[in-house]
Amino acid sequence: MIKFDQVSKRYPGSEQILRNVSFSIEPGELVFVAGASGAGKSTLLKLIAATERPTSGTVLIGNQNVSKLRAAALPFLRRKFGLVFQDHKLLYDRNCFENVALPLYINGITGHEAGKRIRAALDKVGLLGKEKAMPITLSGGEQQRLAIARAVVSRPSILIADEPTGNLDEGYAEEIMGIFYAFQQVGVTVIVATHDQHEIANSGARVLRLEQGTLTA
């Protein structure tokens, strides 16, 4: 479970970005984080992913209080997460297989086991035939699917996506959301930041709505 209790966040020198935000997300839920540009969506995701710490309040991931964790424990916590960003952050001088391989190699998983997992991840996003293709030769939607394969290859229990469909045509965006729902179906917790009302309206999923750093729904 992910639980925020009266969480506030201020960056060094900034004004208050999040104010007294409280909510919880159950394992296996799919939740949207909505709000206008600058409302604090990315900041909220960074607090969940433990790449930022709250200024005050408590962030619990599982049973772990992120503020109380030693720095050395953070890499272990972060293994729970798969991260997807609007701009993919793919490596354009590596092919699709190599892009997805990267998180495994960093964790010391190589050879046959790595190959098996990489192909399984590419298969889940419909890119199994594109192992040797360079990312630049893929469409925008395919590049985003490749970024999702890379995010899930380490089998995270929580998938966090920051505006993953922001740059995509509607058809591609629906495809991407379909992939997220498929991960939710197999028990992954999925958290998606978006300002696309259409995407939210069609989903029936729960929405955490931010307005100037305050949770309104």
**37 sits near ligand ATP (criterion: CB under 6 A):** yes
**Closest by Cα among 181, 185, 137 to 161:** 181
Classify strands 2-10 and 56-61 as parallel, antiparallel or unpaired: antiparallel
Nearer to ligand ATP, 39 or 161 (CB): 39
* Amino acid, res. 150: R
**51 sits near ligand ATP (criterion: CB under 6 A):** no
Select from 4, 21, 42, 124 the one that contacts ligand ATP (CB under 6 A).
42
Tell me how many residues contact ligand ATP (CB under 6 A).
Answer: 12
CB 47 within 8 A of CB 4: yes
CB 77 within 8 A of CB 66: yes
Nearer to ligand ATP, 122 or 190 (CB): 190
Residues 166-205 that bind ligand ATP (CB under 6 A): 195
Strand partners, 16: 10
Select from 21, 25, 34, 39 the one that contacts ligand ATP (CB under 6 A).
39
Of 31-39, 57-65, 104-112, 149-157: span binding ligand ATP (CB under 6 A): 31-39
6 φψ region: left (φ > 0), alpha (ψ -120 to 50), beta (else)? left
**Site residues (CB under 6 A) for ligand ATP?**
11, 14, 17, 35, 37-43, 195
